[in-house]
Structure 1
């Protein structure tokens, strides 16, 4: 009986270890894809705009995929550059002072009475419209998104999947 229990434990341990290693491999691959293209986007942003320092690069996927590069220009003014993943759209840039802040975008959505719990705020883009994507749990506990115009602060779209 002890021998069967030992064999079962060994087989179970080997299977568990294999599943763990496979899961780690998938996770590593997914994280690599998340950051894929960031260096090229930062280089393109520096080459095509006034950006001199790239502090952070985020990936935004809406109707199209964009990389949003946050950094500073030669006057140390904070700016954002939206770099398309494809060649069809053009690179757009704005100084942070030309738009509302992420905190202001979150406050606008909260003041509209949509938010139960704020999750995150990221720069976004749809076609040539620069946005803030505000993610939150709504009053019903559903994960939701609001898109706030980067320049005007107007809520353009609310989505609850």
Structure 2
């Protein structure tokens, strides 16, 4: 026959095991919920990336995609950066709602890092939020989105061909 102490010890162990099991279930549920929300929220971006990459392969002979960008101004553009079948670095700019696909050789303009450097040197942003190529007034541009030291949102558009400032919007 078991003593009272042994029964209490077994009950305490059972409660501890149940508590650990319940905590593990809660952690698993939180993880699955978070992953599900991320997957659902990222689905439109992933679909746009797949579609833009397929178009880039078809129209620009893209072999390898290195980066994907989304640009939103008057129109939305998806850009795939990578190497074409001639081993040239290119940007393939695909309008979201149809239209002409633009293929620009990276060697014919400034790079993402050069655009960032220009903005850092001139504006000294607190934090850069996004850098994306797109089309503005029928010219290929780099859009650099950042916050200034007052915490305000700012946009700089730099012409792809020479890095010239096309438009600046400050303190939104």
CA deviation map 1:36-89 (0-9, x unaligned): 2221211111211243322332222222121101111223221100011112x2
Compare the two structures and name the one with the higher helix fraction.
2
Q: Which residue of 1 aligns with 2:141?
A: 131
* Pairwise CA RMSD: 2.5
8 A Cα contact 2:70 2:132, kept in partner: no
**Following superposition of structure 1 onto structure 2, how do residues 1-161 of structure 1 map, counting pairs within 5 Å?**
25-87=36-98, 89-113=99-123, 115-126=125-136, 128-159=138-169, 160-161=171-172
Normalising by structure 2, what TM-score?
A: 0.71
Deviation of 1:139 after TM superposition, in Å, equals 3.0
Q: Classify the secondary structure of the residue corresponding to 1:38.
A: helix
For the residues of structure 2 that align with 1:58 and 1:121, how far apart are their CA atoms?
A: 8
Runs of 5+ consecutive residues of structure 1 not aligned to the other structure: 1-15
Q: Classify the secondary structure of the residue corresponding to 1:59.
A: strand
Deviation of 1:22 after TM superposition, in Å, equals 6.6
For the residues of structure 2 that align with 1:74 and 1:32, how far apart are their CA atoms?
A: 29
For the residues of structure 2 that align with 1:37 and 1:119, how far apart are their CA atoms?
A: 20
Deviation of 1:157 after TM superposition, in Å, equals 1.5
Q: Which residue of 2 aligns with 1:3?
A: none
Q: Which residue of 1 aligns with 2:22?
A: none
Runs of 5+ consecutive residues of structure 2 not aligned to the other structure: 1-25
Q: Which residue of 1 aligns with 2:20?
A: none
Normalising by structure 1, what TM-score?
A: 0.75
For the residues of structure 1 that align with 2:56 and 2:129, how far apart are their CA atoms?
A: 28
